[in-house]
Structure 1
Amino acid sequence: MIEDTDLDQEAQKALAEGRAITREVVRDGRAYTRTVKPYTSGVGGVMVTYEPCEPRENTIAAHQQIVQSLAASLAQIGVWIFDPQAGEAIWDDRSAPVTGLEKAQHRMSEKTFAEHIVSQDRTSFTNAMDAAIHEGTPLDLELRFKPPGRDVLWLRMRGERAMRADEPIVVCILADVSETEANRTRSDFMMRELDHRVNNLLAIILSIAEISARSNTDLTTYAKDFRARLESMARTHSLLAQTQWSGPSLRALIEKEINAHAAQDAVHLEGPDITLSPSAAQSLAMFFHELAANASKHGALSGVGGRVDILWNTQAGEEPVLELRWQESGGPTVARPERDGFGGKVINRIITRQLYADVSTQWNEAGICLTARIPMARICLREAD
């Protein structure tokens, strides 16, 4: 007999609400589904039925199988069995989208499967399978796999030896980890690129410090100029960071540098949209900083009424070039300096040497006019950058 202490309360509730009430009850470790159903034929009352439930452990196992299947589908995991005696591999339905192999086939020889593995990883796969079969070593490796008609993908393979009819087999799960591997590759590239850029940046700073010291005779002027040049570098890096180091536009770079030295109405910009490589952006930013700083101290931007026209255009040909022109007007009378300062050294060392520019300067009394012809291949954004 099933001991059911809540039956009276359930019966009264079923009669009051006019509906059947179903509940699971347990007796001696067995589960039953109890239904209390009101009836109104003749006298009022309830009808109670008990039906044995499936054992709880079976229900839990079934639920676990569903959860495992859902997890495998979400993670895009396929199940494989390698049978060394038959020399073949058998897989489930989920493995087809993971590996790109035909879903309807469901089996192939181990040799054929191995032929889809990139040759550089094939020996690792063979050695791992031998160790799993003969020594029981758990299999855990990543390898490159070339499905028919698809790009190479990365597979993560984990498996263990099992026995079937006293013969070893290897049960494996396979997962496509191509995206993870691509992220790892990008991360490694970014770390190498960061290391390169930091070293390059430190070299530039040391060069600025050395040349600034040679170009100034007092410590105050040296410190002021050195700080201004570091601030110019910081502005460029901020601009590059905004574009995620994909390269800023030439106009944006000029505007950011010129705005630090002059009012917008004192400068006129005109030229087509051009995207710079990060390395070219650093060189050109220093180039425009020195021109703007010199104009602020001695040239058209040093007083009221001065003007700077910055014009650029591209010229086609066997080797396309960018022609840049810096034209000052309305400032003090210009005279050619007796020696090059830091700005002249920047033009010679960075623009001429690094960007292969052809630079000419005219020291007109009305204002300096500088023209630079730079090969487009040296400044445009390339995939290598």
Structure 2
Amino acid sequence: MMSMIHEATTDEGVVRCRVLLLEDSPIDADLARAHLDHVDGFSFEIEHVVSRQSFLDALEQGGPFDLILSDFALPDFDGMQALDLVRERLPETPFIFVSGVLGEENAIEALKQGATDYVVKLRMQRLRLVVRRALIEARDRDRLRSAAQALQDSEAQLRYALQAGRLGAWELDLATGRMQVSDICAANFGLSDGRGLSSYETLKACILPDDLPGQQRAVQHAIDAHEDLDVEYRNVWPDGSVHWVQVRGRAVYDRNGTPTRMMGISLDVTERKQAEERQNLLLEELNHRVKNTLAIVQSIAAQTLRSAGSPAAFTEAFQARLRILSQAHDLLTREQWQGALLEEIVGLTLAPYQGAGRVRIGGPPVMLSTGVAVSLHLAFHELATNAAKYGALSVDGGRVEVTWSADGGEGDGEGRTLTLDWRESGGPPVVAPNRRGFGSRMIERALPYELDGDVVLAFAPEGLHCVLAIPLSPRVRLR
């Protein structure tokens, strides 16, 4: 309870202190005040009490006090009882006996019980020295205690920061190779506690062999160049899994410049590395998809140009096909480019013609990869456009049925075939064209090549019939 010694200071640098004086003699109390007025560097605010009750009231209501002075013998009280009360309530406050009856044995016993010092009234001039020394010692103890508490708080904050950031602490003795690591640091290497990393050799044994030379070069460079260590490498956990760890630190040197220790932190960065790998894969996939899309656009432009009779016809047909390509990309984007269901692709293509039972779609759930989904969407668009211009969808009574099934065994793996059947009926009599247009060429030539399948396109008089057989694979699979 010595905060006042630190904080209550006058402009002249004099420390103000509160004193509780237990003395039943007014003369002796005045004498004590007179001597306190001559203590160098301190000024005193004195509360004088004369009885047990007033002493208790002062301790409970008037504190805190920086110093307590007490007579040894009082009418209803004695100094040893007062000392017990102070040690119970204010254990850090200096307690000095000032008495005319204090013998050597009593003084020794008082010091054993926790008194700071004692002064015989016949030698009151000694009070100045005793008080000043007691206050300075109390102030120094309080400063040390505050510094220790600040250090403890700082260490607690550091531990919390390390735990919150999943940072492990480590220290390496460069002479012996011995290591001390925190439990979090050990956990970064898949170990239950720090005892598993007791030496630099055990650490190196955890590092993936391909990454060990780079780790050692980084450590040696940091030591030789007096620079910070910052290295990332893979380590193998006891269960065989591979994880990434980032290690930062710095060497400590003696007065001769010889490196003696290294210390720093470690952090498991496996999730970040995996995210970076996923991002790189996504960038590669995006690059691949952009190139594929540009190739499709280039092919559509070239084929449309050859089949168009005029610039206006080319513009109309080309823009329509680009819109279809955009629709497929919108659908795939909603599915985060993980593919699309065959039913969604067919439904998207034939949506403008739904109603009055003109379109029937049916088959088991089939998941298509992105490339297959785009190709089939373009093919169905060409079939639907042809049906709307010349076939079943060009008249009120025409119908289109699109069905699919999986044949050739059980399961959804290799050996089975997905058969798609596009069948038109109720439209005008079909006449086979003399020249194949873009749509026919894409369906008969491009689709089999891209999907590794077979296509049969039959211009039967009762209606166009297209059958597409595609082997089931990771690109085309039952869901």
TM bucket by the smaller chain? Answer: 0.7 to 0.9
CA spacing shift, 1:61–1:249, aligned 2, 3 Å: same
CA contact (8 A) 1:261 1:293 kept: no
d(CA) in 2 for partners of 1:31, 1:372: 100
Partner of 1:278 in structure 2? 370
CA spacing shift, 1:319–1:306, aligned 2, 3 Å: same
Which letter maps to 1:335?
V
Partner of 1:109 in structure 2? 199
TM-superposed deviation, 1:141:
0.9
d(CA) in 2 for partners of 1:110, 1:219: 76
d(CA) in 2 for partners of 1:167, 1:160: 10
Q: Are 1:123 and 2:213 matched, yes or no?
A: yes
d(CA) in 1 for partners of 2:146, 2:210: 50
d(CA) in 1 for partners of 2:6, 2:176: 51
CA spacing shift, 1:167–1:336, aligned 2, 3 Å: closer
Partner of 1:254 in structure 2? 346
TM-superposed deviation, 1:58:
4.8
Q: Are 1:302 and 2:317 matched, yes or no?
A: no
Please report the RMSD computed on the Cα atoms of aligned residues, expressed in angstroms.
3.0
Per the normalisation by structure 1, the TM-score is 0.84
d(CA) in 2 for partners of 1:327, 1:206: 30
Aligned residues: 356
- Summarize the alignment of residues 269-348 of structure 1 with structure 2, pairs less than 5 Å apart: 269-317=361-409, 319-348=415-444
d(CA) in 2 for partners of 1:3, 1:140: 45
Secondary structure (helix, strand or coil) at the match of 1:324 reads: strand
Which letter maps to 2:159?
S
- Summarize the alignment of residues 262-273 of structure 1 with structure 2, pairs less than 5 Å apart: 262-263=354-355, 265-273=357-365
For residues 43-98 of structure 1, what are the alpha-carbon distances to aligned partners after superposition, in whole Å with 9 as ceiling and x for unaligned?
x9842224676665554443332222111111111111122211232212222222
Partner of 2:76 in structure 1? none
Higher-RCO chain (CA-CA 8 Å, sequence separation at least 6)? 1
Partner of 1:21 in structure 2? none
CA contact (8 A) 1:90 1:106 kept: no
CA spacing shift, 1:3–1:108, aligned 2, 3 Å: closer
Aligned partner of 2:449 among 353, 360, 368 = 353
Aligned partner of 1:202 among 290, 294, 297 = 294
Aligned partner of 1:226 among 315, 318, 337 = 318
CA spacing shift, 1:320–1:381, aligned 2, 3 Å: closer
Q: Are 1:48 and 2:29 matched, yes or no?
A: no
Gap regions ≥5 residues in structure 2: 19-52, 66-92, 94-138
Partner of 1:75 in structure 2? 165
CA spacing shift, 1:48–1:102, aligned 2, 3 Å: closer
Which letter maps to 1:27?
A
Q: Are 1:374 and 2:470 matched, yes or no?
A: yes
CA spacing shift, 1:203–1:107, aligned 2, 3 Å: closer
TM-superposed deviation, 1:106:
4.9
CA spacing shift, 1:167–1:361, aligned 2, 3 Å: closer
More displaced stretch, 187-196 vs 353-362 = 353-362
CA spacing shift, 1:144–1:31, aligned 2, 3 Å: farther
CA contact (8 A) 1:311 1:326 kept: yes
d(CA) in 2 for partners of 1:64, 1:306: 83
CA contact (8 A) 2:228 2:248 kept: yes
CA spacing shift, 1:104–1:178, aligned 2, 3 Å: closer
CA contact (8 A) 1:92 1:106 kept: no
TM-superposed deviation, 1:32:
10
CA contact (8 A) 2:249 2:264 kept: yes
Which letter maps to 2:183?
D
For residues 359-383 of structure 1, what are the alpha-carbon distances to aligned partners after superposition, in whole Å with 9 as ceiling and x for unaligned?
112222221111111111274269x
CA spacing shift, 1:3–1:132, aligned 2, 3 Å: closer
d(CA) in 2 for partners of 1:232, 1:276: 17
Which letter maps to 1:47?
G
Which letter maps to 1:158?
R
d(CA) in 2 for partners of 1:362, 1:106: 73
Secondary structure (helix, strand or coil) at the match of 2:195 reads: coil
Which letter maps to 1:90?
Q
d(CA) in 1 for partners of 2:16, 2:290: 70
d(CA) in 2 for partners of 1:128, 1:57: 37
Percent of aligned positions with the same letter in both sequences?
A: 30
CA contact (8 A) 1:79 1:173 kept: yes
CA spacing shift, 1:100–1:31, aligned 2, 3 Å: farther
Aligned partner of 1:142 among 214, 232, 238 = 232
Partner of 1:26 in structure 2? 7
Higher radius of gyration, 1 or 2 = 2
CA spacing shift, 1:85–1:213, aligned 2, 3 Å: same
TM-superposed deviation, 1:137:
2.5
CA contact (8 A) 1:81 1:170 kept: yes
More displaced stretch, 102-111 vs 116-125 = 102-111
d(CA) in 1 for partners of 2:280, 2:298: 27
Partner of 1:154 in structure 2? 244
TM-superposed deviation, 1:263:
4.0
Partner of 2:109 in structure 1? none
CA spacing shift, 1:32–1:273, aligned 2, 3 Å: farther
CA contact (8 A) 1:247 1:275 kept: yes
Aligned partner of 1:90 among 173, 180, 195 = 180
Gap regions ≥5 residues in structure 1: 5-23, 34-40
d(CA) in 2 for partners of 1:32, 1:61: 27
CA contact (8 A) 2:444 2:457 kept: no
Which letter maps to 1:48?
G
CA contact (8 A) 1:132 1:138 kept: yes
d(CA) in 2 for partners of 1:85, 1:244: 55
